[in-house]
Amino acid sequence: MSIVETVKRICMDEAKRLTGAEVVAPLPVWDNAKGSMGVQIKAPKQMGPQACEVIAGFTLTMNELKQANAIRLKAAVAVSGMLHDVQVQIRPLQKLKDVAPEVLGKRHAD
């Protein structure tokens, strides 16, 4: 079984608490961390009269991808946030090109 299949299986096991859930992986990660994988869990949700979709996304590092319990933990946290209508966003405060090379580290300064 591939790592992608393993991630999807573990995440879907947690997402079964959400009716109609779907796991989308692998997704690219924006932080340029080599070997990381983005994951998204989506499910339909009725908010009063409005049909909606609830989405949670997270990144699994190379080390986390080697540990089933680390994958399960992130998926469980994501699903819990979805069930409780918690939203979390990560947004860059400045464009990457505007950040000083010493802040980024040598591997990003090229």
The model's pLDDT over 31-70, given as tens digits with 9 standing for 90+, comes to 667 889 999 999 999 999 999 999 999 999 999 999 999 9
Better-predicted residue by pLDDT, 23 or 94:
23
Share of the chain above pLDDT 70, in %: 84
Structural domain boundaries enclosing 50: 3-108
Rounded alpha-carbon distances, angstroms, from residue 87 to 16, 91, 97, 107: 20, 13, 28, 32
Question: pLDDT: is 12 or 87 the higher one?
Answer: 12
Question: What 3-state DSSP class applies to 27?
Answer: strand
Q: Is the dihedral of CA 58, 65, 27, 4 positive or negative?
A: negative
* pLDDT of residue 105 exceeding 70: no
C-alpha distances (whole Å) from 110 to each of 11, 33, 99 are: 36, 15, 13
pLDDT band at 99 (very low <50, low <70, confident <90, very high): low
pTM for the predicted model, two decimal places: 0.80
% of the chain surpassing 90 pLDDT = 70
Number of structural domains (the chain) is 1
**Residue 11: what pLDDT?**
98
Q: What share of the chain is helix, strand, coil (3-state, %, to 5)?
A: 40, 25, 35
> Could you tell me the CATH number of the domain that includes residue 13?
3.30.160
On the question of pLDDT at 98 being above 70, the answer is: no
Element (H, E) at 7: helix 3-15
